[in-house]
């Protein structure tokens, strides 16, 4: 079995090296700071702490309680809100907690469609289906990549869902919560924001502020534009005490037992770092996304929403039907060391043939890239997908660009190697 141990270590090292040399453009990924990363391999990983601080089911939780209190306080401060729960272990788990707390099986919940950018949580085969709730789809404006307010008001008034989810995986522009708020109040629906993608932008003051625009609860992952550990979070501002209690008991014992204490401690570090560096990081992330959109547009790519500056977030969407479709384009880019993902876009005929690629700037920004590098990346796209230059040639240029950007920014310990493999054992398993 030592061979298996060696193999998995070798593969992990190879993975780290591959990403160290790649241009990482996945909108949902980011890099941890060294101070957050070291906590992931602490003893916290071995422990259980069910319940809330001071009300645990296991002994030995004194330090954990203090860490959790500190994480909650940092979260409330960063998001300027009065309620936080850091026990959901991912964004999907946080969504399940919201559904368990605020909707009963068979009830109607408003959402965007998957093809308009919603996450699979809203699908019958995802969290909605698991909870047995029925989706009510918002009308969509594909030009502006947002909800069509007028037509959606009519839909909401006609079917009166109990809960309305605002949040996307292809999240280019803020959603019109302010404008829909009177309708939600009129029909007695609660607003729920899934900020998995834009959490770090919200905290950095670069996107909308859903908890202060009319949403009672915000659920999210903590590892996309917020450069934290893979984990989840629930936040609230206007929620009544009963709503908070329902959210807390949905988080535990509803959708978690233990809540991954090592990740929670790492999250505390990431929240503290975002309080210090988040504004500048969020500003640069959005500026880079807009610069990348412009540079690709200038090179003849069909970047969505050109009249609106392509995006107000970390993400842009490029329709690549002329370039062979989303699957082929993403694969060719990956072969050249540019990592993205195929993505469904509004109007796509088949969910199996996504017409676009989704590109995000959280990771390249974290590594210190700016608009100049966005222009070089667009040039590589052009050479590969329009000019038909050999993959190896483009891959060499991508690797050369990346060589100057392999250390972390916007965190304590800035300048450390971003893709570092922690070889704590320091020897081979059979040695
Ligand atoms: C809008 C949205 N919500 C939830 C999730 C799920 O998050 P996680 O992967 O942390 O479960 C994602 C993941 O990409 C997402 O885009």
Find out whether 419 and 410 touch, Cβ atoms under 8 Å: no
Rounded to the nearest whole angstrom, what is the distance from the C-alpha of residue 296 to the centroid of ligand 1?
A: 27
Per-residue pLDDT at 427: 87
Averaged pLDDT for residues 40-44: 97
Reply yes or no on whether the pLDDT at 241 is more than 90.
Answer: no
Position in ligand 1 atom list of the atom nearest CA 90: 10
User: 62: which 2 tokens?
Assistant: 């004194």
Average pLDDT, the chain: 97
Rounded to the nearest whole angstrom, what is the distance from the C-alpha of residue 164 to the centroid of ligand 1?
A: 17
What pairs with residue 4 in β-bridges? none
Averaged pLDDT for residues 163-185: 98
Rounded to the nearest whole angstrom, what is the distance from the C-alpha of residue 408 to the centroid of ligand 1?
A: 24
Is residue 28 lining ligand 1, measured as CB closer than 6 Å?
A: yes
Is residue 315 lining ligand 1, measured as CB closer than 6 Å?
A: no
Q: Each residue of 307-346: pLDDT tens digit?
A: 999 999 999 999 999 999 999 999 999 999 999 999 999 9
Is residue 197 lining ligand 1, measured as CB closer than 6 Å?
A: yes
Confidence of residue 261 (pLDDT cuts 50, 70, 90): very high
Reply yes or no on whether the pLDDT at 251 is more than 70.
Answer: yes
Rounded to the nearest whole angstrom, what is the distance from the C-alpha of residue 261 to the centroid of ligand 1?
A: 20
User: 241: which 2 tokens?
Assistant: 């005490």
Confidence of residue 428 (pLDDT cuts 50, 70, 90): confident
Reply yes or no on whether the pLDDT at 213 is more than 80.
Answer: yes
Q: Each residue of 4-41: pLDDT tens digit?
A: 999 999 999 999 999 999 999 999 999 999 999 999 99
How far lies 18's CA from each of 14, 167, 208, 260, 399, in Å?
6, 32, 35, 28, 10
Find out whether 218 and 236 touch, Cβ atoms under 8 Å: yes
In this structure, which residue's CA is closest to atom 16 in ligand 1?
169
Averaged pLDDT for residues 104-129: 97
Confidence of residue 351 (pLDDT cuts 50, 70, 90): confident
Name residue, tokens 């941890």: 32
Question: Regarding the domain delimited by 36-271, which CATH topology (the fold level of the hierarchy) does it fall under?
Answer: 3.40.640
Averaged pLDDT for residues 60-73: 98
Is residue 340 lining ligand 1, measured as CB closer than 6 Å?
A: no
Reply yes or no on whether the pLDDT at 238 is more than 80.
Answer: no
Is residue 229 lining ligand 1, measured as CB closer than 6 Å?
A: no
SS3 sequence, the chain? CHHHHHHHHHHHHHHHHHHHHCEECCCCCCCCCHHHHHHHCCHHHHCCCCEECCEECCCCCHHHHHHHHHHHHHHHHHCCCCEEECCCCCHHHHHHHHHHHHCCCCCEEEECCHHHCCCHHHCCCCHHHHHCCEEEECCEECCCCEECHHHHHHHHHHHCCCEEEECCCCCCCCCCHHHHHHHHHHHCCEEEEECCCCHHHHHCCCCCCHHHCCCCEEEEECCCCCCCCCCEEEEECCCCHHHHHHHHHHHHHHHCCCCCHHHHHHHHHHHHHHHHHHHHHHHHHHHHHHHHHHHHHHCCCEECCHHHCCCCCCEEEEECCCCCCHHHHHHHHHHCCEECEEECCCCCCCCCCCCEEEEECHHHHHCCCCHHHHHHHHHHHHHHHHCCCCHHHHHHHHHHHHHCCCECCCCCCCCCECCCCCCCCCCCCCC
Is residue 119 lining ligand 1, measured as CB closer than 6 Å?
A: yes
Per-residue pLDDT at 229: 98
Reply yes or no on whether the pLDDT at 423 is more than 90.
Answer: no
Per-residue pLDDT at 240: 78
User: 347: which 2 tokens?
Assistant: 């109007």
| Domains of the chain by residue range | 36-271
In this structure, which residue's CA is closest to atom 3 in ligand 1?
196
Reply yes or no on whether the pLDDT at 431 is more than 80.
Answer: no
Averaged pLDDT for residues 399-424: 95
Find out whether 282 and 200 touch, Cβ atoms under 8 Å: yes
Is residue 131 lining ligand 1, measured as CB closer than 6 Å?
A: no
- pTM, whole model, 2 decimals? 0.97
Per-residue pLDDT at 37: 96
Per-residue pLDDT at 425: 83
What's the CA gap between 146 and 242, in Å, rounded? 32
Is residue 343 lining ligand 1, measured as CB closer than 6 Å?
A: no
Reply yes or no on whether the pLDDT at 220 is more than 70.
Answer: yes
Per-residue pLDDT at 239: 62
Per-residue pLDDT at 269: 98
Is residue 167 lining ligand 1, measured as CB closer than 6 Å?
A: yes
Task: Give percent above pLDDT 90 in the chain.
Answer: 95
Reply yes or no on whether the pLDDT at 369 is more than 70.
Answer: yes
Per-residue pLDDT at 126: 97
Confidence of residue 426 (pLDDT cuts 50, 70, 90): confident
């Amino acid at each position: 079995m030592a061979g298996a141990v060696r193999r998995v270590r070798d593969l992990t090292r190879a993975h780290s090296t591959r990403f160290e040399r790649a241009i990482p453009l996945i909108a949902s990924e980011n890099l941890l700071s060294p101070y957050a990363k070291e906590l992931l391999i602490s003893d916290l990983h071995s422990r259980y702490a069910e319940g809330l601080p001071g009300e645990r089911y296991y002994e030995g939780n004194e330090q954990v309680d203090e860490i959790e209190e500190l994480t909650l306080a940092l979260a409330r401060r960063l998001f300027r809100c009065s309620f936080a729960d850091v026990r959901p272990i991912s964004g999907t788990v946080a969504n399940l907690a919201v559904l368990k707390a605020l909707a009963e099986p068979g009830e109607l919940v408003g959402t965007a469609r998957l093809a308009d950018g919603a996450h699979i949580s809203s699908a019958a085969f995802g969290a909605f289906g698991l909870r047995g709730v029925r989706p009510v789809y918002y009308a969509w404006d594909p030009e502006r990549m947002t909800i069509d307010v007028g037509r959606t008001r009519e839909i909401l008034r006609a079917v009166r869902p109990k809960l309305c989810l605002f949040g996307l995986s292809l999240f280019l522009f803020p959603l019109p919560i302010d404008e829909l708020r009177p309708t939600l109040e009129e029909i007695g629906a609660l607003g729920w924001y899934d900020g998995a993608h834009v959490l770090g932008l919200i905290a950095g003051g670069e996107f909308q502020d859903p908890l202060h625009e009319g949403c009672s609860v915000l659920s999210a992952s903590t590892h996309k534009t917020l450069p934290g550990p893979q984990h989840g979070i629930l936040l609230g501002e206007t929620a009544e005490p009963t709503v908070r209690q329902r959210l807390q008991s949905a988080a535990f014992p509803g959708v978690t037992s233990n809540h991954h204490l090592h990740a929670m401690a790492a999250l505390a570090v990431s929240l503290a770092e975002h309080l210090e560096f988040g504004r500048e990081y969020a500003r640069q992330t959005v500026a880079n996304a807009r610069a990348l959109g412009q540079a690709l547009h200038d090179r003849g790519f069909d970047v969505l929403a050109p009249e609106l500056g392509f995006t107000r977030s970390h993400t842009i969407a490029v329709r690549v039907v002329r370039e062979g479709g989303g699957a082929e384009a993403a694969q060719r880019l990956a072969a050249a060391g540019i990592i993205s993902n195929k993505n469904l876009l509004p109007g796509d005929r088949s969910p199996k043939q996504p017409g676009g690629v989704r590109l995000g700037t959280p990771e390249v920004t974290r590594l210190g890239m700016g608009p100049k590098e966005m222009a070089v990346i667009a040039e590589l796209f052009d050479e590969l997908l329009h000019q038909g230059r050999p993959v190896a040639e483009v891959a060499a240029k991508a690797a050369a660009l990346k060589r100057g950007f392999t250390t972390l920014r916007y965190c304590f310990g800035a300048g450390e190697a971003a893709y570092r493999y922690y070889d704590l054992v320091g020897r081979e398993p059979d040695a």
